[in-house]
Structure 1
Amino acid sequence: MQRICVIGGSRYFGKLLVGRLQAAGHQVTVINRGSTSPPTGVEHLVVDRNDEAALTAAIRFRTFDVVVDQVCYTPVQAAIAARAFADRARRYVMTSTIEVYDPATAALPAVPAGAPVPEETVDPAAWRVAPDLPWHDDAYVEGHYAEGKRQAEAVFARADGFAYATVRSAHVLGGGAQEFTGRLAHYVSRIARGEEVLVHARALPTVFVHHRELAELLAWAATADFTGPVNACSDGPLDVYGVAAITAAQVGREPVYRTVSAGEPASPFSFDRHYAMSNARAKALGFSISRSTDWLPGAVVETLTTEPSPTA
C-alpha cells in the first residue's frame, strides 16, 4: 500500500484513476476545489491549487509516496506545487498531453516524415521557462495550452525534493457523455444527420487512447520507478477518414466529406501536420498497449447511446 495524492481527479479518467488506486489498496487523498466529492474512503482536501499558502497549509502534516497531478497547466502552477510538495512526496507524476508535440505551437527538432514522435523530441529539462508571461489570465492559458504544459513539465523536471515523471496523453476518447470535449460526439452527430465532415486536403494521422486505458496507465506510472516523459497512446494511428469510417460503421450511414481551404477550420482530428506519438517507451517499461481499432467502435456505441436521435 502506498499513500497517493491526486490533484484533480474529479471527472473523466481522473475519477477512474482515483477508483483504481483505491481498489488496489492504496491510501488515496484527493485535492480539488470541492465541486465534486471523491468516493467513500478517499480523503478529500478542498484547496485551490493556485493558492500556495492554502496548499502548503493543507499538506503541512502529511507526506505522500506519490503525487499524481491531473490539472497542472502552467509553469506558475507547477512552481507552486514543486515548492509545496518538496520533501513531502517521494515521486511526482504530471498528466501532460500530445499537444506538447504540436509543430504549430513551437519550433521542435525535426522528425522523419510520418515517423511516430518519441519523447526526446520535447526534453523538459532543456525547455525554456517563462514564468513572467500572463499565466494568471485564463484566456491566455487556453490559447497557449501546449506551451503551458511544456513549461510546467520543465519546472518539475528541474525541481528538487522528489523524482519526477510525466505522462503525455494522446487524444482521449470513450465514456459517452463523460467525454466532455464532445469530439467523438461531433462525428456521431454529423454522420448520423448526413452533415458534412470538414477535412484538410492532406489529412495526416494522430493517435488516441481510451479513457480507461489512460487511467490504468496513470495508476501504473504512479507506482513505477521510471522518470522523465512517457507517451500514452494506443497502437494504430488514425487520420480523420479512419475515425469517420469507424464511426460510420456503427451509425449505419456513410460520411459526407468537404475539403476545406488552407487555414480554414476543420473537424476535430483532421490535422494538416503529423504528430502521432511513439509508445515504444511505455511498452519497453512493461505497460501493455491496446489497439485503437479494437476499442474505438465500442466508444462510438457509448456515444450513440447518449446522443439525441438524428430525427429529434
Structure 2
Amino acid sequence: MKIVVIGGSGHIGSFLVPRLVRAGHEVINVSRGSSPPYADVPEWQQVRQVTADRDHEEREGSFGDRVAALGADVVVDLICFTLESATALVESLRNQTEHLLHCGSIWRHGVSLKLPIAEGTESAAEPLDQYGIRKRDIAGMLKEETAAGGLATTSIHPGHIVGPGWLPIGPLGNLDPGVWHTIASGQPLQVPGSGTELMHHVHADDVAQAFEKAILHRDAAAGEDFNIVAPTALTVRGYVSIASSWFGQEPRMETVSWEEFRRTTTPEFADSSWAHLSRNHCMSIHKAASLIGYAPGYEPEQAVRESVQWLIDNKQLTVPSLLA
C-alpha cells in the first residue's frame, strides 16, 4: 500500500516508518523537515520526504487537500492536537483514502477510578486538561465518523512514550535529569505522595507495532480506539527500586507532602509530577491484543533502561556511576 505518515520523524515515526518500509509499503513522510528521525536506519533511504508547515497550511485551509493529493491508501496522523485540525483532515480524506489512523493519548482519561482502565468503560474520570480533552474529543469524532459510514478511522492511545534519544518520564513523573543522578549516587530521593502511584510507559517501537497491526487488520480496527502501553505499569516505589538496582544501589526514598516537594523543585517539574502521579494510570491492552494482535515487546523498565543507557552513552545524561 501507499502510506502517508504525518510527523514521521518523531518518537513514534522513527520506528513506524522503517517498519512499514520493511513490510513492503510505499511510504511518504510529511514533516517540517527540521529534524532527523531518532533511528538512522537504511530504510529511510526508500522514504519520500514531503516538507510541510502544517499550522500555516491549516490556517490557509490547504493542508488536508495537500495530503489527499498524495493518493495514499492509508494516512497515519501522529501530530494532530485539536478537534478542528482532525475534522478538517477527515473532510479532505473522506472518499479519498481507505483508512485514517490518529495518535491520541491515555491522557484522554482523567483520574483512575477502576484499574486497569479499559476503553469504553467508566474506569476513569473526565480528562483533566485541554490536551486530554482534545484527545478525547478527537477520538469521539473519529468513532462517530466511521459509525456513520464515512471514513474508516482508528485512534491509537499510547502511554508515556519511551525510547532511545530522549529522556523518559522518570520515577517522580517528570523529566528532571537530576532524579537519575540522585538514584545513581544512592542518595535519598524525595517522593511526593505515598509511592504507590502508577505510571504506564510504552516503548516507541511498541506504539509503532500497534499502528502497523491496525493497518494490517483494517476491518477489525475500523471505528475502534486502543490503549497502547507496556504489559505492566510501574509504581513510583517499584520504579525507584528497579532503577536503583541498575546502578548497584539500594533504593532510598523519603516520602514527603506535595507542599514540601514543591519547595524542593521547579514549578515545571512539580506540575509534571502532579499531572502524571495524580492520574494514577494503569491501562488494559486486552482490546488491542484481541482485535489486532498487539503484543508489546518491552516491559516498562526495559524500555526506560534502554533510554537511560542511550543518554549516558551519548553524554546527554551525567551520572556518578554507569549502569551495571
* Aligned AA (2:296): I
Are 1:212 and 2:205 matched, yes or no? yes
Structure 1: runs of 5+ lacking an equivalent: 104-109, 128-142
Are 1:282 and 2:271 matched, yes or no? no
> Where does residue 198 of structure 1 map in the other structure?
191
Deviation at 1:162, TM superposition (A): 1.6
Deviation at 1:186, TM superposition (A): 5.3
Structure 1 stretch displaced more, 29-38 or 232-241? 29-38
Inter-partner Cα distance in structure 2 for 1:241 and 1:17: 32
Contact in 1 for aligned 2:160/2:169 (Cα 8 Å): no
Are 1:144 and 2:136 matched, yes or no? no
Are 1:188 and 2:194 matched, yes or no? no
1:70-120 C-alpha deviation (Å, 9 max, x unpaired): 0111112112211222222211111111111122xxxxxx843xx200011
> Where does residue 247 of structure 1 map in the other structure?
243
> Where does residue 117 of structure 1 map in the other structure?
117
> Where does residue 130 of structure 1 map in the other structure?
none
* Aligned AA (2:233): P
Contact in 1 for aligned 2:101/2:155 (Cα 8 Å): yes
Inter-partner Cα distance in structure 2 for 1:242 and 1:267: 19
1:21-62 C-alpha deviation (Å, 9 max, x unpaired): 112110111112221367222222222233233314523533
> Where does residue 107 of structure 1 map in the other structure?
none
Aligned match for 1:169, one of 158, 181, 205: 158
Aligned match for 1:178, one of 166, 169, 178: 166
SS at match of 1:40: helix
Contact in 2 for aligned 1:188/1:303 (Cα 8 Å): no
Deviation at 1:295, TM superposition (A): 4.6
The alignment covers a number of residue pairs equal to 285
Deviation at 1:267, TM superposition (A): 7.5
Aligned match for 2:93, one of 76, 85, 88: 85
SS at match of 2:295: coil
> Where does residue 134 of structure 1 map in the other structure?
none
Aligned match for 2:53, one of 48, 57, 62: 48
Aligned match for 1:260, one of 250, 256, 259: 256
Inter-partner Cα distance in structure 1 for 2:95 and 2:301: 43
SS at match of 1:121: coil
SS at match of 1:89: coil
Inter-partner Cα distance in structure 2 for 1:64 and 1:72: 18
SS at match of 1:94: strand
Structure 1 stretch displaced more, 288-297 or 203-212? 288-297
Are 1:224 and 2:224 matched, yes or no? no
Are 1:292 and 2:300 matched, yes or no? yes
Contact in 1 for aligned 2:226/2:288 (Cα 8 Å): yes
Are 1:155 and 2:112 matched, yes or no? no
Structure 2: runs of 5+ lacking an equivalent: 38-43, 263-269
Alignment of 1:4-43 (within 5 A): 4-36=3-35, 39-43=44-48
Structure 1 stretch displaced more, 79-88 or 283-292? 283-292
Contact in 2 for aligned 1:100/1:149 (Cα 8 Å): yes
* Aligned AA (2:26): Q
SS at match of 1:217: helix
Are 1:233 and 2:232 matched, yes or no? no
SS at match of 1:231: strand
* Aligned AA (2:318): P
Contact in 2 for aligned 1:49/1:81 (Cα 8 Å): no
**Structure 1 residues 186, 209: CA separation in 2 closer, same or farther (over 3 Å shift)?**
farther
Inter-partner Cα distance in structure 2 for 1:61 and 1:273: 41
Q: TM-score, normalised by structure 2?
A: 0.77
